[in-house]
Structure 1
Amino acid sequence: MPASISPARAVGIDFGTTNSVIAMASGTGTAELVEFDAPGGTSSVFRSALCFWPEDSAPGGLAHEAGPWAIAEFLDFPQGSRLLQSFKSVAARATFEHANLFEKRLRFEDLGQIFLKHLLAHGEEALRNLPERVVVGRPVRYVGAQPDPELARRRYNAMFALLGREIHYVYEPLGAAYGFATGLSDPATLLVADFGGGTSDFSIVKVGPPGAAQRCVPLGSAGIGIAGDRFDSRIMDKLVLPLLGKGGTYNSFGKVLDIPAGHFTEFGDWSRLALMRNRRTLAQLAQLERSATDPPAIARMIAVVENELGYALYEAVGQLKRSLSSETHGHFHFEGPGLIIDAEVSRSDFESWIAPDLLRIGETLDAALANAGLDARQIDQVFLTGGSSLIPAVRRVFEQRFGPDRIASGNEMTSIAHGLALLGEAPDLHDWIALD
C-alpha cells in the first residue's frame, strides 16, 4: 500500500509527457513523493499512458486504465484495446479536436480527467484528501510547430477542475529550481534545464542566503518543443521508416511519384500513432499499397498500425536511446508480424541524427540567458533534470558553455514534483505563477 502522507498542506503535480509524479508537503520544509503499488513494483513514477477497450457489460461503453496498469492491460489484450501515450503533447495543438476511441470521441480534457481519476485512485490514502494548495507544472513552451498557450490553459483548467481546488501553474524548471535551491548553503545564480518527453525548458533563479525573507527570485525562462520524443523520432526515421516505405514511390496515372512524407508523420509522434488505426487511415494505406512500387513496404506499415505495434516500437527505440547514454554502441531489435529489424547503432550515429535538435536547444538556452539579462559567466550553478539530461551530447551543450564543474544532476524523474510541492507552501507563490 502507498504510504499515507498526512497532514499535507500543499501538493505538487508534475504532469509529464512520458511520466507523472506527485509530491506532498506538510510544513516540515521537505516533500514526500507519493508511491504507487504498480504491477512491476512500487514506484513514485506514474506512466502518462491511457488504455481503452470496449465495456462488454454496457453497449457502446468504454472501459479504461492509466499509468502502468494501462500498459499491463494493453499487453494482455493488444488487439482489443487502444493505448495512448504522450497525450499531453496535443494540449496546445488546435488541430487536435478529439481522439476516436472505438465508438467514443474524447477531447483532451476528457482524456485528462480520466487520467487524473485513475492517478488519484491508485494513490489511495495519500491522495484521498487533497490540500487546498495545488501547484501544477507546465512547460515554458508547449509542443508543436504553432502551439496555442491559451488553448492549452483552457484545456488544463478543464482537466484539473476535477480536483475541485484552485490550481496554481508554475513553469516546470522553476519547480525544479526551487527544490534544488533548498540544498544550497550559499547565494547563487542558478540555471535549471528540464528535459522532458515533449519539451526542453530552461529557467534562471537568483538564490539568496539561507534564512533570507525571499530565498529565491525567478529571473527568466525559455523553452522549445524538442526533447526525448523528438530524439526517439530521429531513431524511428533512420532505422524503421525506410522499411515501411518512407523514401519510396508510387504510380499515379502513368507517373512515378514520391510517397508523401505526411503518411509517416504520425510515426514520429507517439500521441498520434495510436490513433492511426481507424477505417479512413487504413483505407488510404490500402490504396497506397496497391499503387506503391514496393508494396511489401507499405504492407509492413499497415501491419504496424493494424497490430498496434506502436508500444513495442516505442520500447525498442527507448531502449536503444538509453543504452547509447551509457555505451558507445547499442543494439536495436524489433520484431513484429512481417517486420524484423536488427541494427547496430553507434553513439556518434545517434548524435549526428539529433545534431539539428541540439543546435536549437542551445539557441533556446542562450535565449533564457538573454531573457534574464545574464551571460554564461554569471551562472554559478547548473542543474540538469529529466530523462534526456542523461544523454552525453545533451550534457555537452552545457559543458561547452559553463564547464563541467558547475553542472549538477540527479533525481531526474522526481525533482519537479518535489519543488512544486515546496513552492505550494511558499508565501511568495504568486511571484512564481505562469500567467500565460
Structure 2
Amino acid sequence: MSNFLYGLDFGTTNSVLSIYDEDKKEIIETIRVPSLIYFPEKLASADDNYVIGEEAIVAYLEEGMKGRFIKSIKQILSRSSFIETRINGRRYNASDLVSLILKDLKSKADQITGEDCRKAVIGRPVFFDDDNTAKDSLAQTRLSKAVEIAGFSNVRFQFEPIGAAFAYERTIEKKESVLVADLGGGTTDFTFVELDPDQARVKDRRNDMIASGGIYIGGDSFDSSFMWIKGTPYFGKDTLYEATPGKVLKVPISLFDNICTWDKMNFFNSLRIKRSMEEYYHYSNNDPKFRNLLTLIDNNLGYSVFQSIEKTKIGLSVEDVSQFQYSNMGIEINEAISINDYNEVIRKDVQKISDYLDRFLNENGIEAASIDSLFLTGGSSMVKAVRDLFVTKFPNSKINSGDNFISVANGLAYSGYLFED
C-alpha cells in the first residue's frame, strides 16, 4: 500500500488538489475544479442537494438559473457579518459551504489512490483580509473546521506563495533569490525566498523563507471595479425617482455596491430589499435600466453577467480591444472595451498592489537588485497591467510563470517537511 499526501489549494476562483506519492516521491495527478456550488431549486432527493464545479454551471443553466448559485466562497471566511444562510430548508455556515468543495476534491482524489487519505497540506493566503488579525484568525478557524468536516485529520497549513515557490524550485538549475507573487481571485501574496534545486528534498526549509506578506486584492477586485464602472450604468445606477412630488432623488448607491461583490450578491435576496427595489422602480416611472436590476436579482443572473466580464478581461490579455457583451431576459450590453479603458478601470486596484509591494520590500530590507528572478502565478498574473507593474519595478530581473492554476497545489504537495516536528 502506498503512502499519499494531498496538496490542496482552496481558491477563490478555482480549487486544486495534487496527489503526492510519498514512496515514489512524485506527484501522480492534479485535479482542478471551479470553486462553485449550485443548490438546485428542485431536488432529486434529500441527499442529492448540491453540485460542484463545472457540473454546478451546467445544472445552473439547465434549471434556468432558478436555484442558488454560490461563487467566491473563500471571500466569506473572514467576514464576521456572515453567520449562516438557509438553502432549501438547511442551514449552512461558512465552514459548511467550504467543506463541500473540499469533500468533492478529496472524493475525486481518493478514487484515484484507492484510499481514504486524511493527510494534507492546505494552502492559505498570507492574510485573508489584509493585516486584520481578528479577521485572519476567524478565517483560519473556519477553514480548519471545513478541512475537518471534509475528512482530513492529519493536516498542516502552508502559505500559498511558499507553495508556488517550491513548485518553481523544481524548474531551476542554480540557486536563486526569488520574489514569488501569487495573484489569485481574492488576494495577492508575496514571498521572498532563497531557492536551490539541491535543497528541493530537504525537509526543513524555514530558514530559506525570508519574508512573506499579502494584500486583499485579486481578480475579483478587478471584476468588481469593472462591474462598478462599466456594468452598473446598465442596471440603473443613475436612476432618479420621485417618491414625493417635486423632490427628485437618485436611488441609493448601496444597491449597486451589492451587485459588484460576489459574496454580497450571493445573499442579496431578502424580501425587504426586494420590496424597496420595487418601490424605487415604481417611483422612477418604470425606468428600463432599473428594471434590469430587478431582473438581475429576481432571476439570479449574477454569475452569467460576471462570466461576460471575465471573458472581456481574458480577451484583453491577448488583444487591445475586447467586447463586453451580455444578452439575456431583456438585458442588452454590447460595448467595446479597449486595454486603456480596462487599465483605467483597475488602476486603483493595481496601484494598491504596487504600493503594498513597495512597503513589503522596504519593511523587509529587500533591494530590487537582490532579486534574481520573479515567479508569477495565479490567474490575475495574466492581466497586462499587472505584468507591466512587475516589468517596470524590476527591469533587471527575469520574470517566470508556471502553470497559473496548479503551481500552488503542486508546491503544497512538495511541503511534506511540515510533518517533521
Q: Answer yes or no: same fold by TM over 0.5.
A: yes
**Pair 1:408 & 2:400 matched:** yes
Q: In the alignment, what sits opposite 1:64?
A: 50
- Please state whether the residue corresponding to 1:361 is helix, strand or coil: helix
Q: Does 1:295 align with 2:287?
A: yes
Match of 1:224 in 2: 215
Letter in 1 for 2:306: Y
Aligned equivalents of 1:79, 1:317: Cα separation in 2: 18
> Secondary structure of 1:319's match?
helix
Question: Which residue of 196, 205, 208 maps to 2:193?
Answer: 205
- Percent identity reads 29
1:204/1:369 contact within 8 Å kept: no
Give matches, 1:291-370, under 5 Å: 291-292=283-284, 295-370=287-362
For 1:143 and 1:128, the matched residues in 2 are separated by 37
Equivalent position to 2:16, from 21, 25, 32: 21
Partner of 1:326: helix, strand, or coil?
A: coil
| Contact 2:167–2:408 under 8 Å retained in 1 | yes
Q: Structure 1 residue aligned with 2:385, among 367, 389, 393? A: 393
The equivalent of 1:248 in structure 2 is: 239
Q: Equivalents in 2 of 1:415, 1:392: separation in Å?
A: 20
- CA pair 127-232 structure 1, distance change in 2 beyond 3 A: farther
Where does residue 172 of structure 1 map in the other structure?
160
Equivalent position SS for 1:150? helix
Task: Give the counterpart letter for 2:189 in structure 1.
Answer: D
Structure 1 residues 198-229: Cα deviation after superposition (integer angstroms, max 9, x where no partner): 11111111124615855671111111111101
- What is the CA RMSD across the aligned residues, in angstroms? 2.4
Relative distance call for 1:150 and 1:211 in structure 2 (3 A) is: closer
The residue aligned with 2:112 is 126
1:274–1:428 Cα change, 3 Å:
closer
Residues in 2 aligned to 1:232 and 1:413: alpha-carbon distance in whole angstroms: 18
Cα distance between partner residues in 2 of 1:292 and 1:161: 50
Matched residues in 1 for 2:191 and 2:180: separation?
Answer: 5
Q: CA separation of 1:246/1:327 partners in 2, compared to 1, >3 Å: closer, same or farther?
A: same
CA deviation string 1:144-174 (max 9, x = no partner): 7967011111111110012241321111111
Shift of 1:370: 3.2
Q: Structure 1, residues 165-203: CA drift from partner, whole Å, max 9, x if none?
A: 132111111110112112222221111101111111111
Whole-angstrom CA distance in 2 between matches of 1:76 and 1:220 = 47
* From 83, 92, 99, the counterpart of 1:97: 83
* Structure-2 separation of matches of 1:306 and 1:394: 35
Distance 1:404 1:413 in 2: 26
Query: Is the contact between residue 10 and residue 16 of structure 2 (CA under 8 Å) also seen in structure 1?
Result: yes
Task: Give the deviation of 1:66 after TM superposition.
Answer: 0.8
The range that moved more, 374-383 or 110-119, is 110-119
After the TM superposition, which residues 7-86 of structure 1 pair with which residues of structure 2 at under 5 Å, given as runs? 7-27=2-22, 28-34=24-30, 44-54=31-41, 56=43, 63-86=49-72
Q: Which residue of 1 aligns with 2:102?
A: 116
Q: TM-score, normalised by structure 2?
A: 0.91
Give me the whole-angstrom Cα distance separating, in 2, the residues matched to 1:211 and 1:79: 51
The residue type equivalent to 1:370 in the other structure is N
3-state SS, counterpart of residue 97 of structure 1:
coil
In the TM superposition, what whole-angstrom CA distance separates every residue of 1:35-55 from its partner, at most 9, and x where no partner exists? Answer: xxxxxxxxx320100000246
Partner-residue secondary structure (3-state), 2:198: coil
Q: 2: CA distance between counterparts of 1:90 and 1:66?
A: 18
Aligned-partner SS, 1:45: strand
Extract unaligned runs of 5+ from structure 1. 1-5, 35-43, 431-436
1:237 to 219, 228, 233: 228
How far does the alpha carbon of each residue in 1:93-114 deviate from its partner, in whole angstroms, 9 at most, with x for none?
1111122324333111111222
CA contact (8 A) 1:66 1:119 kept: no
Cα deviations by residue, 1:219-248 (Å, 9 ceiling, x for unpaired): 111111111011111221222211212133
Residue from 115, 129, 142 that aligns with 1:155 = 142
Which stretch of structure 1 is more off in the superposition, 194-203 or 205-214?
205-214
Q: Cα 1:332–1:209, aligned 2, differ >3 Å: closer, same or farther? A: closer
Match of 1:196 in 2: 184
